């Protein structure tokens, strides 16, 4: 029995490596994307964002604020203007991505204990710039305010400066990032994308190779081979075995090489990794086997699934939290392995979660695998019986 299964698996591998479209999807895409996606984010964080300052006060205090902003790592002060219009024009020319407006009479107002509002303007189209510029300018302006407040407290309450500092901020915060200590963008985006790449390339690859149906039309020459005429269970499980082993090697490749090369956190333990690989691949392969029975042409799956990659990624709770997604969309997302696989993979590999931490998601993946297995067998059986005159599957 095992020999028959392996025979089918070997035949599938041979087909996989001799079909250019299958090679592109099942081999090249998995390797290429692993390097292609992380490369833009190799510097991880945004530094030295070009910005400007509009100094309408022109006092010693405003110059202090400008010096502070110039020393910030996240931004680079390209120019100091005296009018807002000049900064707006520079932003429209893409020379700067934000600016801080120091109001007129800032120093005078602060010294006379009146609150001053410092406005920070960022380019509305860039979320990363918005965060970096907003944080850098706010920190400088609030530090200036804090220094002055400490002075005010010390003078008005007649206390030493150490006590004044404690009175201004009685319980300071220490913010720490647990599983992405550098705050790198690649650490956050790439691991999730890698799981989606595995899923998408595997499903499309299975569809391009016709799933487990007998007498694949595009293999006219092989129609009489014993492997193509195997009984359904051997055909189904033998071909699944080929994809399973092939994609296990991809998971190993990502874990051992890609994660090391790009220095992503690698905290995965063996047991949860193995269980994850088994249930995730089982679920994805069976979904591929189901979907492959729907298409009449080999490239149709590619055309459909290429469009779905972006929504699939966002439905995986990777960027936009699932509790903010409309409930019907959450329900739709339950049909996709990535919905559970992406958070499970992050828990295991990035956060070092144990098997108990990820068990609920792995159960759901296992349930998907069983449902898709039953559906895949049924659909393949139905497709084997139907004689189709159109298409190349």
Which positions from 188 through 207 interact with another protein, judged by CB under 8 A? Answer: 188-189, 193
Q: Is 281 exposed, middle or buried (0-12, 13-18, 19+ CB in 10 A)?
A: buried
Q: What is residue 49's three-state secondary structure?
A: strand
Interface pick for another protein out of 273, 314, 355, 384 (rule CB under 8 A):
314
Interface pick for another protein out of 14, 17, 31, 32 (rule CB under 8 A):
32
Tokens of 213: 């149906």
Contacts with another protein, 125-144, as mask; x by CB under 8 A: xxxxxxx--x--xx--xx-x
Q: What is residue 79's three-state secondary structure?
A: strand
Per rule CB under 8 A, is residue 350 in the interface with another protein? yes
In the sheet that holds 49-55, the strands lie side by side as: 75-81, 49-55, 98-102
Per rule CB under 8 A, is residue 64 in the interface with another protein? no
Per rule CB under 8 A, is residue 323 in the interface with another protein? yes
Of the two residues 120 and 287, which places its CB atom closer to another protein in the complex?
120
Least distance (Å) between residue 226 CB and another protein? 27
Of the two residues 292 and 347, which places its CB atom closer to another protein in the complex?
347
Q: How many Å apart are CA 356 and CA 25, to the nearest integer?
A: 34
Contact in structure between 9 and 242 (CB atoms under 8 Å): yes
Which positions from 284 through 313 interact with another protein, judged by CB under 8 A? Answer: 297-300, 302-304, 306-311
Q: How many Å apart are CA 369 and CA 224, to the nearest integer?
A: 31
CA atoms within 13 A on the CB side of 103: 13
Interface pick for another protein out of 11, 16, 54, 165 (rule CB under 8 A):
165
Per rule CB under 8 A, is residue 21 in the interface with another protein? yes
Per rule CB under 8 A, is residue 84 in the interface with another protein? no
Return the C-alpha torsion angle 201, 203, 206, 212, nearest 10: 160
Tokens of 11: 């035949």
Per rule CB under 8 A, is residue 226 in the interface with another protein? no
Per rule CB under 8 A, is residue 88 in the interface with another protein? yes
Which positions from 229 through 268 interact with another protein, judged by CB under 8 A? Answer: none
């Amino acid at each position: 029995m095992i020999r028959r299964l392996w025979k089918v698996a070997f035949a599938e591998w041979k087909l996989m490596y001799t079909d250019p479209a299958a090679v592109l999807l099942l081999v090249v895409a998995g390797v290429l994307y692993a390097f292609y996606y992380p490369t833009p984010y190799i510097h991880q964080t945004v530094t030295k964002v070009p910005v400007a300052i509009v100094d309408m006060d022109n006092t010693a205090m405003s110059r202090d604020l400008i010096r502070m902003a110039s020393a910030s790592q996240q931004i680079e002060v390209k120019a100091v203007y005296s009018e807002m219009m000049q900064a707006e024009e520079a932003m429209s020319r893409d020379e700067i991505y934000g600016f801080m407006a120091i109001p007129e009479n800032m120093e005078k107002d602060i010294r006379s204990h009146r609150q001053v509002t410092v406005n920070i303007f960022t380019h509305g189209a860039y979320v990363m710039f918005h965060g970096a510029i907003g944080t850098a300018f706010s920190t400088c302006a609030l530090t200036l305010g804090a220094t002055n407040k400490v002075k005010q407290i010390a003078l008005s309450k007649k206390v030493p400066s150490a006590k004044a500092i404690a009175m201004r901020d009685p319980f300071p915060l220490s913010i720490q990032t647990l599983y992405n200590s550098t705050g790198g963008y690649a650490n956050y985006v790439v691991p999730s994308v890698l799981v989606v790449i595995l899923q998408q390339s595997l499903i499309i690859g299975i569809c391009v190779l016709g799933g487990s149906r007998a007498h694949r039309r595009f293999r006219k020459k092989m129609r009489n081979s014993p492997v193509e005429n195997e009984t359904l269970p051997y055909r189904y499980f033998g071909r699944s075995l080929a994809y399973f082993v092939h994609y296990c090697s991809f998971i190993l490749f990502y874990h051992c090489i890609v994660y090391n090369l790009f220095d992503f956190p690698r905290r995965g333990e063996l047991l949860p990794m193995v269980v994850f690989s088994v249930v995730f691949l089982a679920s994805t392969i069976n979904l591929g086997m189901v979907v492959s029975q729907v298409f009449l042409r080999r490239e149709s799956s590619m055309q459909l699934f290429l469009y779905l990659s972006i929504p699939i990624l966002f439905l995986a709770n990777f960027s936009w939290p699932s509790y903010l997604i409309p409930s019907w969309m959450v329900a739709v997302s339950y049909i996709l392995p990535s919905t559970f696989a992406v958070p499970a993979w992050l828990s295991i590999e990035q956060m070092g979660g144990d098997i108990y931490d990820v068990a609920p998601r792995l159960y759901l993946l296992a349930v998907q695998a069983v449902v898709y297995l039953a559906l895949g067998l049924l659909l393949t059986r139905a497709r084997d019986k139907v004689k189709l005159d159109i298409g190349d599957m």
